[in-house]
Amino acid sequence: MDLLRIEIKQAGYLGKKDAINNINILLKKGELVGIIGPNGAGKSTVIKAIVGLLPELVGGVYFLGENKNYAYIPEQPVLYEELTLWEHLELVAAVYELERKKFLKYAEHLLGIFRMQEVKHHFPTTFSKGMQQKLMIIIGLLLEPDVYIIDEPFVGLDPRATKEFMGLLKEERMRGAGVLVSTHQLDIAERICDSFILIADGRLITQGTLAGIRAECCLPEASLFDCFDFILEKRA
């Protein structure tokens, strides 16, 4: 079942309306697709276009799941200075009308996984980047959406938190959610993604499974990093 179809002819900002061009992506139920590319390639711009944060867009973004909803976890956490960690979670529960008993149980469970029970009544604007990122992840997971759209999720996370998050994403995929993740950490992407979208200079360069990209590069045993390097060198 298709959950998200992206058909962007052109998108960008007021001063650069064509920051990205010809981006076509299809995300299916239970699938994890990685958007990869060098710094400045346009990965985060693609993510912002999908969630409606760009003022200029020609094309369409179509959420096709049963609930047609998504959770967006940005690279830079967005937090309220006057709210504690727990108050952030309570706000989410109120806005999205989460069932109270289920919310309390799941919220405490996630706080335990990420080892944040002791700071749940603290103000997260004083936290480290990694702890703030954990809070954004917890908020996204609480929503149990059809689609997760995640921009550089592993930046700032310690190895244990990264492992726990990957495990939770696996559980969400088993539930039927689709995951679209932008990352420059190719070693992690190779381990968790079903397929890849390679972006460079604001354009989709290639896409497919690792096996398909290896075949395209004629590098049958290569890592994702080696294929990535080969394709970019070939374009240079």
The pLDDT tens digits for 35-73 are 998 888 899 999 999 999 999 999 999 999 888 899 999
| Model confidence at 129: pLDDT above 80 | yes
Q: Looking at the structure, do residues 140 and 160 belong to the same domain, yes or no?
A: no
Residues 6 or more apart whose CB falls under 8 angstroms from that of 33 comprise: 25, 27, 178, 179, 180, 181, 193, 194, 195, 196, 197
The answer to whether the beta carbons of residues 75 and 151 sit under 8 Å apart is yes
User: Does the pLDDT value for residue 232 go beyond 90?
Assistant: no
pLDDT for 24 beyond 90: yes
pLDDT of residue 235: 75
Judgement on whether residues 165 and 101 belong to the same structural domain of the protein: no
**How many structural domains compose the chain?**
2
If you ran DSSP here, which 8-state letter would residue 66 be given?
S
Q: What is the CATH number of the domain that holds 49?
A: 3.40.50.300
**167 and 125, same structural domain?**
no
Q: Tokens standing for 1? A: 């079942």
Residue 23, pLDDT > 70, answer yes
Mark whether 62 and 156 lie in a shared domain.
yes
Among the candidates 104, 127, 144, a domain finishes at 144
Q: Which residues contact 80 (CB under 8 A, 6 or more apart)?
A: 88, 91, 125
Residue 205 scores a pLDDT above 90: yes
Residue type, 104: L
Dump pLDDT digits (tens) for 82-91: 999 999 999 9
Q: What is the mean pLDDT of residues 142-155?
A: 94
**Residues 119 and 155 reside in one and the same domain:** no
Q: pLDDT tier at 162 (50, 70, 90 boundaries)?
A: very high
164: pLDDT confidence band, cut at 50, 70 and 90?
A: very high
Residues 52 and 153 in one domain: yes
Q: What is the C-alpha separation between 58 and 35, in angstroms, rounded?
A: 20
Distance CA 21, CA 46 (A): 9
Answer yes or no: do 153 and 227 share one domain.
Answer: yes
236, pLDDT greater than 80: no
Regarding whether 236 and 151 lie in a shared domain, the answer is yes
Q: Which domain holds residue 138?
A: 77-144
Give the pLDDT confidence of 79-126 residue by residue, as tens digits.
Answer: 999 999 999 999 999 999 999 999 999 999 999 999 999 999 999 999
Q: Which of 116, 144, 172 is the last residue of a domain?
A: 144
Give the pTM. 0.94
Do 178 and 118 fall within a single domain?
no
**Per-residue model confidence as pLDDT tens digits over 166-191:** 999 999 999 999 999 999 889 889 99
Residues 87 and 166 in one domain: no
The verdict on 135 and 110 lying in the same domain is yes
Confirm if 16 and 178 have CB atoms less than 8 A apart.
Answer: no
User: Of 94, 117, 144, which residue constitutes the final position of a domain?
Assistant: 144
Say if residue 163 is in the same domain as residue 132.
Answer: no
Helices (H), the chain: 43-50, 85-95, 100-113, 129-143, 159-175, 186-192, 210-217, 224-235
pLDDT bucket at 156, cuts 50 / 70 / 90: confident
